[in-house]
Amino acid sequence: MTAIAFEKVHFSYTETNDGADKLFASDTSFALDGVDLSIEEGEFVAVLGHNGSGKSTLARLSNGLLTPDSGKITVLGMDATDEKNLFNIRKSVGIVFQNPDNQTVASIVEDDVAFGPENVGLPREEIGKRIDFALNAVGMEQYRHSTTTRLSGGQKQRVAIAGVLALKPKIMILDESTAMLDPRGRKEVIDVVTRLNKEENITVLLITHFPEEALIADRAIVMDHGKIVMQGKPQDVLQDERALRKCSLALPRSVRICRELQAGGLQIEDGFYEEDLAENILALLQEKRADIAAETETAASNPTSKDGVGEIVCQNLSYTYNPSSPFETHALDGVDLHVYSGDFFGILGHTGSGKSTFVQHLNALLKLPTAEKKYKPKKGKPIPQTTLTVNGYDLTDKNTDFRQLRKKVGMVFQYPEYQLFAETVFQDVAFGLRNFVKELQEDEITAAVKDALETVGLCYEEVKDKSPFDLSGGQRRRVAIAGVIVTKPEILILDEPAAGLDPLGKEEIMSLLHTIHQKWCKTVLIVSHDMDEIAENCNRAAVFGDGKVLAADTPKTLFADETLIRRSGLDIPFTAKLTALLREKGVVIPSDFTTDSFVKNTLRYVSTALSEGACHA
């Protein structure tokens, strides 16, 4: 039986002024443009595409949240355009959105998970079993009685997934729903979904930017500007670099490494997993080994500014949400961390490890008790011995000028586009500047806004008078970043800055941050769940776990300690996995776990090994 069928489906978010049929409007820009698609029951289909390609629209049409302008949609044999079928369709098709805040309905976790089963009339005993199953599946059973508002972004996403799992739908759609999860959480969710697909024949539609996730599907579909432009076996679709780049997508990291090795003269086949690539390299060596001295790695210099510019010193920082209440949660427990002036610093940790709570202290969004205006030390009670100095400001002192601190320490949140609020892009970007630097003249504000927008890659004349909400998701994120960097902060903090972006969008954001860092921003901190992102971009990083800093060092040193990383609920970068597999076979390739380093040293290793073999022959 066909689970989902689209026949020449058009959909546009644009409405014509006279109410005429949108299909014939001359200025219509279709989110879906004549899509034909058939997904069989029990099939696992991955949908890839750049931001704005139509993936999420496809998902919402599939469970009746949207109605097509034209064409026919059938779900499990039911016409999705007939309102009489919508209840049964939505009962059978569970969808998990990209942002969990959009589907959280209750204040307590177990109530949120129970919402769906209760609304379809399941018995109380069965609802309890469904809650247990769903929370265990996503690793959130210990948070059963927690408040949803106090969960981290990744924890909220797990609860949202659990809410859909509790319905045990016949079709499950995940719309970038693993984007905010740590590596272990992402793997657990994908494993659960894969198991449900295989064991219970649940049809899965996985919308993702991770090509590695798409590899587990039966079929991969690539969308571009509302059309399906490629489809087939994932291994076939994900090898066509030119076509993928045209759609703002990228090859899987394993295939990218293979292509760079091939460009360096190595005759090696494409491999989609680290095991494949390791075996291909070993096959080339034909049991020959070469000893290569590791290249000397230049340690990043971290000069401490005498005036504290760009430096962060934290000692014994603790923080508790809802103290002395049933919902008391210890988020930080004696954090010690030193970020040097000039660092491009990464912060890693599993979901709920305290990363976001920590960075919110750095520009006093969360304040220490001693920094509160009403704080008075209580007799007989010792003052907490905490040190928190950021950019030369003492954040433990209530007399600190926190307004000036926030001018110098910029913060970009997990979903930066949600920071937008003004009527025009210009007003939004200028808002912080007007509040922090009141003495500026209007022409100076205009120049600063223009510079900020152009720094993030937007054309000032094209976007300045537009509503930020009329822009694409990627453009909104850039506007939000522009609104933070317009004051030229000396420390820039970004919480998951590239989450939810397509591969080329991620590359552009990271390139932008490096440009800012090189030109005028002393120190950049990024919170990320992407191990490869940290390895490729940061000179130092810290691993958080259970509210503490478990380790802080160079990414090379941190990722070499696989036991620590895995114990922390994280994963090691692809190149670290590959290096470890080769080491087990006696091939020791020095690498700092960046792609460039691995490729360069692998080419040297193989060249030396093969030339030695030729000499001995």
* Element (DSSP H or E) covering residue 216: none
Which CATH class, in words, describes the domain spanning 2-248?
alpha beta
CA dihedral 266, 267, 268, 270 (to 10 degrees): 100
Same fold, 2-248 and 314-373+383-553: yes
The helix or strand, by DSSP H or E, that contains position 56, with its residue range, turns out to be helix 55-62
> How is residue 542 written in tokens?
């810290």
Predicted pLDDT of residue 369: 87
pLDDT at residue number 157: 80
**Mode of pairing for the β-strands spanning 523-527 and 344-349:** parallel
For 543, the token pair is: 């691993």
Q: Which of 470, 462, 464 is nearest to 446 (CA)?
A: 464
Mean pLDDT for each consecutive 10-residue tract of the chain (617 residues)? 94 60 50 94 94 88 92 95 91 86 89 92 93 88 88 81 90 86 78 86 90 91 94 93 89 92 90 90 70 46 64 95 83 95 94 90 92 77 84 93 92 82 94 87 94 92 92 82 93 88 83 93 93 94 95 95 89 92 90 92 86 54
Q: How many CA atoms lie within 13 A of 182 on its CB side?
A: 26
Q: Are strands 491-495 and 387-390 parallel, antiparallel or unpaired?
A: unpaired
C-alpha 574/C-alpha 273 separation (Å) is 9
Question: How many CB atoms neighbour CB 383 within 10 A?
Answer: 11
Burial class (CB in 10 A: 0-12, 13-18, 19+), 470: exposed
The pLDDT tens digits for 360-398 are 999 999 999 888 888 777 776 676 789 999 999 999 999
74-106 pLDDT, tens per residue?
Answer: 999 999 989 999 989 988 999 988 778 888 899
Place of tokens 């500026």: 440
Q: pTM, whole model, 2 decimals?
A: 0.82
Domain 314-373+383-553 bears CATH identifier 3.30.750.24: no
Say if CB 584 and CB 591 are below 8 A apart. Answer: no
Per-residue pLDDT at 176: 85
Contact 10, 71 (CB under 8 A): yes
Neighbours of 287 (CB within 10 A): 10
Q: What number of residues does the chain have?
A: 617
* Burial bucket for residue 148 (CB in 10 Å: 0-12, 13-18, 19+): buried
Residue 54's CB is within 10 A of a number of other CB atoms, namely 23
The domain limits of the chain are 2-248, 254-295+575-616, 314-373+383-553
Of 292, 263, 296, 294, which is closest to residue 610 (Cα–Cα)?
Answer: 292
Query: What DSSP designation does 365 have?
Result: S
